[in-house]
Amino acid sequence: MRAWLTLLLSGFVSVALWAAPIRVVFPRPETDIDVRDRYAYDLLQEALEHTRKDFGEYVLVRSSSPINRLRSVLALNDPNGEVNVINVPTSVSYEQALRPIRIPIDKGLLGYRLLLIRDKDQPRFDAIRNLDQLRQLRAGLQENWTITDVWRQAGFKVVTSSDYEPLFSMLSYGRFDYFLRGVDEIMPEWQGHHDKLPSLKIEQSLLVYLPLPRYFFTGRTQEGERLGQRIEAGLQRMRQDGRFEQMFQTYQSELLRGLKLQGRRVLRLENPNLPAETPLNDPSLWYSPLN
């Protein structure tokens, strides 16, 4: 009887372990008005939902406290890390340390960059015709961002902050000349800071482009690989059934409205940190707001 009971209980435990939902933890935004990752979170949830039948139940939550880029990257390979999936622009170093899912979640939109500036400085930017002229001005960026390394390697002057939110007030106070932002980031950021920092505006003349795909990443651990496989399978199914494109079109149409991208002077830049495995030859993965 005791042996039978032990076997029965072990069976229940095995079933419970098998049925236990996977816990997926995504970074909490750095501030209450930071909406940069809202689309990525929704896309991740949809990818997990698309794989429920094959991979089982899941619980998707935000980290218990705000977490910046450096901490979130380090957490992925830590068994006790605060998060187990992030979305960041790729680089050689990220793909060596982490498990990339090489489907650009915003179809490369983050590579199209606008400038947040002080309103009185618009004439200075109207006069810029090439990258060398832009190199004479100081960019504000967060330390440990992918774009920060690219900007430095390209010979630009860079002023950094260890955190995201102070960059807006630093620009307002004249610590640097422009804050380089993605076309899918700049409008909600300007709207979220305009009341407190009314001197800031979206620069009207320039658009900088460099290939800068943003991926989901998981850790290079057994659990990270399993989660990465699930997210990749979900995104591929979404691409096949049209849900990915539907979500992307809704996302970009809301964020690009009012930016007047057509007619801007386009300054093109290479990305020396772009991994060789980047799927640049698959046009279905990419989108240009200039077409």
User: Which residue reads 């390979």 in tokens?
Assistant: 77
pLDDT at 23 over 80: yes
Predicted confidence band at 150 (pLDDT cuts at 50, 70, 90)? very high
Same domain? 233 vs 190:
no
Q: What percentage of the chain exceeds 70 in pLDDT? A: 93
Mean per-residue pLDDT, 173-188: 96
Do 223 and 254 lie in a common domain? yes
Pairing of strands 214-218, 265-268: unpaired
Same domain, 202 and 125: yes
Identify the bridge partners of residue 217 per DSSP, sorted by sequence position: 86, 100
Look at residue 6 in the predicted model and tell me its pLDDT: 44
Q: What is the mean pLDDT of residues 176-188?
A: 96
Domain boundary residue, one of 186, 209, 232 = 209
The pLDDT value recorded for residue 27 is 95
Question: What pLDDT, on a 0 to 100 scale, did the predictor assign at position 17?
Answer: 44
Distance, in Å, from the CA atom of 188 to the CA atom of 244, rounded to the nearest integer, reads 22
Asked whether residue 274 is domain-assigned, the answer is: no
Integer Cα distance of 75 and 25 in angstroms: 11
Q: Among residues 97, 103, 95, which one has the least CA distance to residue 40?
A: 103
The CATH number that applies at residue 167 is 3.40.190.10
Query: Where does the pLDDT of residue 19 fall: very low under 50, low under 70, confident under 90, or very high at 90 and above?
Result: low
Asked whether residue 19 falls in the same domain as residue 155, the answer is no
Q: Give me the number of domains the chain comprises.
A: 2
pLDDT digit string, tens, across residues 71-94: 999 999 999 999 999 999 999 999
Give the range among 15-24, 120-129, 226-235 with minimum mean pLDDT. 15-24
Cα(187)–Cα(208) distance, rounded to whole angstroms? 16
Asked whether the predicted pLDDT for residue 271 surpasses 80, the reply is yes
220 and 87, same domain (yes or no): yes
Between these two residues, 3 and 120, which has the higher pLDDT value?
Answer: 120
Tokens of 148: 């920060």
Among the residue ranges 14-28, 42-56, 133-147, 203-217, the one predicted with the least confidence is 14-28
pLDDT greater than 70 at residue 232: yes
Q: Taking all residues of the chain, what is their mean pLDDT, rounded to a whole number?
A: 92
User: Does one domain contain both 102 and 223?
Assistant: yes
CA 50 to chain centre: 21
Distance CA 132, CA 110 (A): 22
Helix, coil or strand: residue 57: coil
* Residues listed for the chain: 291
User: What digits encode the pLDDT tens for the residues 237-261?
Assistant: 999 999 999 999 999 888 888 898 9
187 and 98 within one domain: no
217 and 98 share a domain? yes
92 and 127 in a single domain? The answer is: no
Q: Which residues span the domain enclosing 192?
A: 110-209
> Do 117 and 98 belong together in one domain?
no
Same-domain check for residues 164 and 47: no
Residue 15, pLDDT score: 41
Element spanning 64, H or E: strand 58-66
| Percentage of the chain exceeding pLDDT 90 | 84
